[in-house]
Chains A and B, each alone.
Chain A
Amino acid sequence: MSGGRTISGWAAVGTVVLALIVSACGGGAGPAAPAAGNQPPQRGGTLVVGSIADADAWNEYVSQQTFANNLLRRIYARLGQERGDAREHPPTFTPLLAASWAFSADALTLTFTLRDASWSDGTPITAGDVRFTWTAQTAPAVGWSGATNKERIKDVEVVAPRTVAFHFDRAYPEMLADAIDGGILPEHVFGKVPFDAWRTHDWSEVRVGSGPFLLESWRPGEEITLVRNPRYFNAERPLVDKVVVRIVPDIGNLETQLAAGAIDYLEGVPPQDAKRVGGLPGVSLVVFENPMFDYVGWNGAKKPFDDPEVRRALTLGIDRKAIVDDLLYGYGRISTGPLLSSWWAADPSLPAWPYDPVEAKRILAAKGYDEAHPLAFELTTNTGNRVREAVTLKIQDQLSRIGVKVSPRSFEMKAFRERNVAGNYDAYVAGWRFNGKLDLGSIFGSKALPPAGSNVVAYRSGDADALLAAIGAAPDWPSAKAAYGRFARRIHDDQPYTFLYEGKRIAACGPRLRDMKIDVPSDPLADLESCWMAH
């Protein structure tokens, strides 16, 4: 049992129980990263991470789970690592397996020169591994959900053992990001399994990797152990010898373990617990952007939600600041959508619709809705998401003030999705995760109605379709940004969705953990190799 605690006895029980009770009305704590102070980084030690989730598969291309992918990125290095600078321009990258890269004169070919590195079993990492990985990423039998990022790569050519060229069908702003997306796999290991068997193959026995860590053991439902890769190309990293992930499906238990010193890092602290957890002795919070936003989708195939003015009125009647303050405890911001505000393509000058119940009521009255003939609809969400369920109740309360009758209802996730895809709803609350890119065409395109696409709100706009085409055709990022800006304004005016909020994610670091930085929201463990444990 890890020690280091100074409180003990019955007084401590009282304190902890009281803290649990007080937490119900706790507020937000300020962001604070654990600082190294003047201490130089120390090598060795074991970092214990607490997690609610277990891994679903030990292969990035069949796994659907964010947490598993975050670990897999530490085992299978990419050609480059995204820097946390995507707010101003498309992300730039730090070389990882690639030592350098360069575009051809016509900008259609991107050539990577690999560094002199080897897999953990001593086999050299070659251009053949890169080509094999691209073949797997795009293989229909593998069915990787990120394969759309590779659509414009027509071929990956092995030029020399350590030189590989990506050929694109045309130039566009995110060529480098698309080429780099996905961990490079060892062909001599993964190539032994045919692609059509990848989804039903147990990958947990594979022990070969190229990243800073290797999978040492996996006790499903209990523990994952990553161990330092002795052949990692950067001999100075990682600083810790092991990372042990303790899997406990109860956040309260994980917080208790953090308090007891049994775990050192915990991601996903609920906003309502942040103040209490941040107040634990020696514990500091790291607050970072959560790359997703929640929204209300209005069924554009149904009256009156096919009318943009009615949708705008409903947006004006929803007090999103109150939702952020009351339900997210301040850990979030109002979303203007449809682009994440921390993404380079977002237009910061685009204003969010204000909370204006008077104007909302005026518009609805002009549309024939009043106390005698109120607008009434059902607002659904998925059962089990406590925040979204609370959001539906909050919206019910807010819209009741402008005479709109909302009936909140929750459905089990599968039933919820099926209803939405079938168009069997009035309005629903859900969210989108943003992993670097959002396929706007499949969400807003007139031709993307289900089942062909995910335009479940049946949004149709010739103007928006033209702008989507302009985004796709933009040759460089400034022109793409301009097209994105025009598109966002179109969506802003039409309000097929009321974008509610972008939440923040909260991580807690125990007293021994130092220099845990989270620069890339979509890859919070990116800097895992540089954090260290104070002995």
Chain B
Amino acid sequence: MLGLIGRRLLSGIPLILGVVTLTFVLVEAAPGRPADLLLGDGPVTPELRARVEAAYGLDRPAPLRYLSWIGNAMRGDLGWSLSRGRTVRSVFADALPPTIALAAAALAIQLLLGILVGALHVVRPGGWVDHALGAAGLVLVSVPTFWLGLMSILLFAVAVPIFPPSSAHSVGSAAWSLPARAADLLWHLALPALVLGAGSAAIVARFLRAGLMTALGEGFVLAARARGASSLRVLLAHALPAAAGPVLTLAGLQLPLLVSGSLVVEVVFGWPGMGRVTYDAVMAADLPVVLAAVLLATVLVIAGSLLADVGLALVDPRLRARRPTSR
């Protein structure tokens, strides 16, 4: 297992470098100069442009800036955000916690709701509950997230105002006690997390239904039934672990979302997270932020798929029994 982890981590290094380099080249190759966006709409003298470019180090050749960024990033210095007037690290430090909170809540909803619905599907396969849940899932997967978000705001923040329409905090909450602030955060989190998690929960439920249907027909499940295990025990202790593989892989691949954020949900709900930071940076050609966001996302994609493999091996005895040396 350790060998597998080590090899996967090592193979990730060239991948990270490749992705970051490609991103740098693509952003650099785009027409125009970053200073254009720093200088506003009005007429600009060449002298002013030169001074502004020099202040941000944009007057140096691109390869030099690339190498300098790589060197600084290895020391933990991700550079200066041109569009936000702060270090990239402090921009991320502010944007990461809300994104992690939102993605973690959405992931929890996705797994809990998905597993629950997936299990309900197979209580009576082909029955009306199975069909109704399938239809509801199809609707959730089909509707665009922004529409679901807007409708949930209209329903639960305007018509029946039980949740706030946007942001992560109430006005003046900074002066509240810690428990009150935590409750306030959960209150603000509810709608965006539900919207973000609901569509994915439907996918989890479909994956799980298919896995459970297969597992329930396998020999070890029949053996458990023959030993007199209850239906609930058969489902939870025997069929579910065997059917969990695709779900865990799916959850692992969702890990990058924990930090990369969901742009649509963050925009619709005014959630101050990484999705918006990255989107704004792309639009403003804020190269240091774009590079750092890509770096972070790449690292997490690698870590996510690794964690999914490890998790899979841990829950499925059939995989645990194999030696991972073949990979």
On A, residues with C-beta under 8 Å from B are: 1, 3, 5, 7-10, 12-13, 16-17, 46, 48, 54-59, 62-64, 140-141, 143, 145, 147-148, 196, 199-200, 202-204, 217, 219-223, 225, 242, 244, 246-250, 252-253, 256-257, 259-260, 262, 412-419, 431-433, 435, 439, 442-443, 448, 451-454
User: Which residues of A have CB within 8 Å of B48?
Assistant: 143, 145, 147
User: Which residues of A have CB within 8 Å of B280?
Assistant: 249
Q: A200 touches which one: B32, B55, B159 (CB < 8 A)?
A: B55
Chain B residue at minimum C-beta to C-beta distance from A48 = B171
Interface residues of B in 123-165 (CB under 8 A from A): 150, 153-155, 157-161, 164-165
Beyond the given pairs A16-B154, A262-B166, 4 more chain A to chain B contacts, judged by CB atoms under 8 angstroms and listed by A's residue number, are: A12-B159, A140-B51, A145-B39, A200-B80
User: Which residues of B have CB within 8 Å of A246?
Assistant: 166-167, 171, 270
Task: List 8 A-B pairs, minimum CB-CB distance, nearest first.
Answer: A414-B32, A248-B270, A57-B85, A221-B272, A454-B43, A222-B272, A415-B31, A442-B43
Given contacts A141-B55, A417-B36, contact A220 B272 (CB under 8 A): yes
User: Which residues of B have CB within 8 Å of A253?
Assistant: 150, 153, 165-166, 268-270
Query: Is B46 engaged at the interface, CB distance under 8 Å to the other chain?
Result: yes
Contact A220 B270 (CB under 8 A): no
User: Which residues of B have CB within 8 Å of A250?
Assistant: 267-268, 270
Q: Can you list 19 A-B contacts (CB < 8 A)? A: A5-B161, A9-B159, A48-B171, A57-B85, A58-B85, A140-B47, A204-B85, A220-B95, A222-B168, A250-B268, A253-B165, A412-B31, A413-B36, A414-B31, A414-B37, A418-B31, A419-B31, A435-B42, A451-B46
Contact with A along B271-283 (1 / 0, CB 8 A): 0110011001000
Contact A443 B41 (CB under 8 A): no
On B, residues with C-beta under 8 Å from A are: 30-33, 36-48, 51-52, 55-56, 80, 83-87, 90-91, 94-95, 98, 150, 153-155, 157-161, 164-169, 171-172, 174, 267-270, 272-273, 276-277, 280, 285
User: Which residues of A have CB within 8 Å of B161?
Assistant: 1, 3, 5, 260
User: Which residues of A have CB within 8 Å of B155?
Assistant: 13
Work out how many contacts link A and B, with CB atoms closer than 8 A: 176
Given contacts A248-B166, A249-B276, A452-B46, contact A203 B85 (CB under 8 A): yes
The smallest beta-carbon distance between B28 and chain A, in angstroms, is 12
**A5–B42 CA distance with the chains assembled, in angstroms:** 43
**A66–B69 CA distance with the chains assembled, in angstroms:** 30
Contact B272 A256 (CB under 8 A): no
Contact B159 A10 (CB under 8 A): yes
Contact B154 A415 (CB under 8 A): no
Contact B150 A16 (CB under 8 A): no
Contact B41 A433 (CB under 8 A): yes
User: Which residues of A have CB within 8 Å of B32?
Assistant: 412-418
User: Which residues of B have CB within 8 Å of A63?
Assistant: 85
The smallest beta-carbon distance between A411 and chain B, in angstroms, is 8
User: Which residues of A have CB within 8 Å of B46?
Assistant: 451-452
User: Which residues of A have CB within 8 Å of B268?
Assistant: 250, 253
Contact B33 A414 (CB under 8 A): yes
**A16–B33 CA distance with the chains assembled, in angstroms:** 43
Q: A442 touches which one: B45, B85, B167, B171 (CB < 8 A)?
A: B45
The smallest beta-carbon distance between B184 and chain A, in angstroms, is 11
Contact B94 A219 (CB under 8 A): yes
User: Which residues of B have CB within 8 Å of A1?
Assistant: 161, 164
